[in-house]
Amino acid sequence: MRGAPYLPFADGRFRLALGLMPLKPSAWIEPDADFAAHLAEKRALLAARHGDVFEALAGADAPSAELLALLGDHLPHHHPELFERAGAMLRNLATGEEWNVARPFLHPLDLCGRFVQEDFCVLTPHDGPYLLAGATLAAPARWRLREKLGRPLVEVHAPVPGYDERLGTPVDRLFATMKPDRLVWRLNWSIVDDPARFQPVCVPRKRPITDPGAELWLRVERQTLRKLPVTGAIIFTIRTHVTRLDDAVDELPHAAALAAALRSMPHEMQVYKNIAPFAPALLAWLDARA
């Protein structure tokens, strides 16, 4: 199938902004046609590199149990084509897996990550700022979970140019005032030279990009935020979509919009997103396509 599910650059501008939109609770989790394949990919990663995919501090235990109970109710109610619930047992109809959500045999956050394509981060308040207390992260965009665990959000996002100055205070205010029944979502995007979802580090490319349409991919993260009513923790989900670039910009206006957005992106942001090394070749390709 051609096209990408989301085109965050469609207006031709790059902004460092929260860009939050209201989200219906029924749309919290986003399964698609790759559901079973992505869960198989997660299982393989967890078997081979469990410590790189899942970590949780003690402060994440109660919120993770609350999240597990929430998912155990949400999935069969909103996605009955994929999940069914019988007592304490939750069954995935696509994979045949079955779990006891009342007495999980794994850490509840680890188990949550095996249910759906989303990754989950648990953020807990600690004398004001929220800390990253745990995560199940099968699709990191060039960051290591262990290096961020236990840190406040401003430190987690320290490498992002302009985050502290422009987003630090709004994010802290949002977390302090969020209501459990008010979910929000946003999109984050980049252009990458590796289609793998699991990318804890950036591997320098040995050869230059000669065919951007076939050698580059649009990587979009659909991110959601919701506050848990009992523990007050914030659950941050990340659903990663990767689309080959010539499929993502399959219409001329899309190529023009992406070129304009890249030209409005500050150079330091292009460096942070690892776009700078191939930006000239990418822009030339987009201009020709548009």
Return the beta strands (E) in 4-103 as ranges.
21-23, 54-56, 83-86, 89-92, 98-100
- How far apart (Å, rounded) are the C-alpha atoms in residues 212 and 216? 5
Where along the chain do its domains lie? 21-202+216-244
Span 238-266, pLDDT tens digits: 999 999 999 999 999 999 999 999 999 99
Range of weakest confidence among 87-101, 137-151, 152-166: 152-166
Best CA proximity match to 65, nearest among 25, 20, 107, 28: 107
pLDDT band at 164 (very low <50, low <70, confident <90, very high): confident
CA atoms within a 13 Å half-sphere pointing along the CA-CB vector of 220: 18
Distance from C-alpha of 245 to C-alpha of 255, rounded to nearest angstrom? 10
In this predicted structure, what is the pLDDT of residue 134?
98
How far is Cα 54 from Cα 119, in angstroms, rounded to an integer? 10
pLDDT band for position 2 (cuts 50, 70, 90) = low
Q: What's the pLDDT score for residue 154? A: 85
Structure tokens at 274: 């690892």
* 3-state SS, residue 234: strand
pLDDT at 110: 98
Over 50: is that where the pLDDT of 173 sits? yes
For 141-153, the pLDDT digits (tens) are 988 999 999 999 8
